[in-house]
Structure 1
Amino acid sequence: MTTTKLPGSPALRRRQKGAAGSAAPFTPERLKTRRRMRLRGGLVAWGFIAPVAIYLLVFYAYPLYRNIDLSLRHYTLRSFIDGTADFVGLDNYVKVIRDSTFLPALTNTAVFTFVSIGFQFAIGLALAIFFFRKFPLASTLRALFLVPWLLPLLVSASTWAWMLNSDSGIVNATLQLVGVPQINWLTSPQWSMVSVLIANIWIGIPFNLVILYSGLQNIPTEIYEAAALDGASGWQKFWRITFPLLRPVSAITLLLGLVYTLKVFDIIWIMTRGGPANASTTFAIWSYQLGFGSGSPQLSPAAAVGNLLILVAFAFGLIYIRTQRRAANS
């Protein structure tokens, strides 16, 4: 016959007392130890974050602040040195927008940016798919396509300026052999933008090729094998498998290409200097011309143009983040 232990029985009280005695008492010393451990962990975390935070503050946040301050004041060379410029608010932005160069520069920036990244992405994707198919010397040829990306932009732009020279360029010499009349690539308002577009597209193709080729390598081959068993053609495989699965890589490739192309300066400046008659002037070129290209530097309007360029890049960055969030939640 078993006996039932009531809640107030001596056996239950002894068991509860033993359980309570096994737990360590919550003393002030224990509390101090926990606080020291938390403080040490926080210091270690800040130790890892501090170099990046300092780098961002020194090389990004402070220059951006100075550029914004420069655009909100009326700076001259003298006031820039002694720091006595008057605060004028948004007057520099109004002056820039009302300037006759604003609309041509805005149009040229949009054309140069979107045409460049469109051709760079399309050609880079086609080359990535081509080199993804294994064939002899594929690695060697793919490495040769990286040469434009590895060359200094000064060298690339100078080479294209020589090739497109109206009188002694190899491009016009080749066209004349097939009966095409001479084209003034760098000095004609109709062709100057085309010339800098050709050079920039040629330089940007290797970047798209490398990123998209890496994305193709992450697509499981089993999907293509299953599609082949179902009788899918090569075009169907591209539209139903390759292109959809490359969307995350394509998005970051287009965003990086957009941000890079918006601020392209050296290629255009070396080849055409923004001319003739502002035919190839972009915001980056115009900002430089205002700040350093004229006899009397207009530092504050130049900073305003640069900030407009930053706002455009920031807007596209926000669009990219919002698109990625929607894709993750869907």
Structure 2
Amino acid sequence: MSETTTRTEPAAATAEHAPRERKGPGRRRLYQWLFVAPALVYMLAFFGYPLVRNVLMSFQEFTPRTYFTGEAPFNGLDNWRGVFDNDLFGDALWQTILFTVGSLVGQFTIGLALAVFFSRRFHLSGFVRAVLLLPWLVPMVVSAVVWRRIMDEDHGVLNSFLGTIGLSGDGVPWLSSPSVALLSAILVNIWIGIPFNMVILYGGLQEIPRELYEAASLDGAGPWRTFRSVTLPMLRPVVTVVLVLGFMSTIKILDLILALTGGGPADSTQTLGTLTYQLSFLQLDFGQGAVVGNVLILISAAFAVLYLRVNRADSPGK
């Protein structure tokens, strides 16, 4: 009798704990979702809903009257055709590409050079780095207004300096010439973005083991060979972050161009960001403004996915 009881007790215990074990993974999954739920609600409310609303608006006849009546009838692809048939859209797209590529190349190149320079410690290096952060800390509108005064054709400090050293006698029309205004906007944006690139790349350089540089030196590698074979490969993940974030922030810039040139002269500095503003808030055509906004979102998403995939394919062990 006791032997039978002894045999049945483990079976009973197993049967008693079996449902609890089956409930364990489900309960853990529930707890995981509960922890994630606040973030999901936040993302859906502040990112998902505006994105869906913007897509729907691009297929609607959305005007100021809509805010009073609530009526925004669907008009199919009329908004999209209106934007793509607009000659200004093609110019704005091309100028956005030039502005973005020029800004990224300038910011990254100078930022990397400064990061490499400051990786060699010297007296007052920390103070100089702190001073170079100032353009990044100043609001973009303030920077644009200051540079607008600096680049003034008649009374600007820049033309006065160039005239003093004999490089420009009549003064360069930095912001009043259609052929120069976009370049001026690119130069100002490069000045603003250099500190961000320098700080992130400097942090990445500090994470590279010194032993790799010592091994390269023992192998007889010069500075340029060491930079190509050691620094750049080890810095690739940081470079990815810098370029992707730089692209996302540059392609949609609005306040800098509005405060610097207002999109002029002769629409020579119109970008997709300023075109969205012009269509939505000056012409009050919110449907077409939403179309340009969706184009910006698609370009940004395509760049991020493409660049991250290429970087992952080129990384070791993938």
Please give the TM-score of this superposition, normalised by the length of structure 2. 0.93
Match of 1:163 in 2: 150
Letter in 2 for 1:61: G
Return the match for 1:152 from 132, 135, 139. 139
Does 2:37 correspond to 1:50?
yes
Does 2:206 correspond to 1:217?
yes
Match of 2:48 in 1: 61
Distance 2:11 2:250 in 1: 65
Fraction of identical pairs, as percent: 43
Does 2:303 correspond to 1:312?
no
Could you list the runs of 5+ residues in structure 1 that have no partner in the other structure?
Answer: 1-13
Distance 1:19 1:163 in 2: 92
Letter in 2 for 1:83: G
Letter in 1 for 2:43: L
Please give the TM-score of this superposition, normalised by the length of structure 1. 0.89
Return the match for 2:14 from 17, 22, 26. 26
**Could you say which structure has the larger radius of gyration?**
1
**Structure 2 counterparts to residues 222-237 of structure 1, below 5 A:** 222-237=211-226
Q: Once the 2 structures are TM-superposed, how far is the Cα of residue 32 of structure 1 from its aligned partner? A: 4.1
- Work out whether residues 103 and 250 of structure 2, in 8 Å CA contact, stay in contact via their aligned partners in 1: yes
Distance 1:176 1:327 in 2: 49
Distance 1:141 1:19 in 2: 79
Letter in 1 for 2:13: P
Query: How many correspondences in the alignment?
Result: 313
Moved more, 178-187 or 194-203: 178-187
Q: Once the 2 structures are TM-superposed, how far is the Cα of residue 97 of structure 1 from its aligned partner? A: 0.9
Distance 1:182 1:274 in 2: 22
Distance 1:144 1:309 in 2: 34
Q: Once the 2 structures are TM-superposed, how far is the Cα of residue 24 of structure 1 from its aligned partner? A: 6.1
- Work out whether residues 80 and 291 of structure 2, in 8 Å CA contact, stay in contact via their aligned partners in 1: yes
Q: Once the 2 structures are TM-superposed, how far is the Cα of residue 325 of structure 1 from its aligned partner? A: 3.3
Q: Once the 2 structures are TM-superposed, how far is the Cα of residue 167 of structure 1 from its aligned partner? A: 1.9
**Structure 2 counterparts to residues 1-330 of structure 1, below 5 A:** 25-27=13-15, 29-179=16-166, 180=168, 181-294=170-283, 297-328=284-315, 329-330=317-318
Q: Once the 2 structures are TM-superposed, how far is the Cα of residue 19 of structure 1 from its aligned partner? A: 8.4
Letter in 2 for 1:281: Q
| SS of residue matched to 2:87 | coil
Deviations 1:252-306 (A, max 9, x none): 2111101110011110000101001110000000010111123xx1110011011
- Work out whether residues 152 and 175 of structure 2, in 8 Å CA contact, stay in contact via their aligned partners in 1: yes
Could you list the runs of 5+ residues in structure 2 that have no partner in the other structure?
Answer: none
Letter in 2 for 1:139: G
| SS of residue matched to 2:21 | helix
Letter in 1 for 2:96: T
CA RMSD between the two structures: 2.0
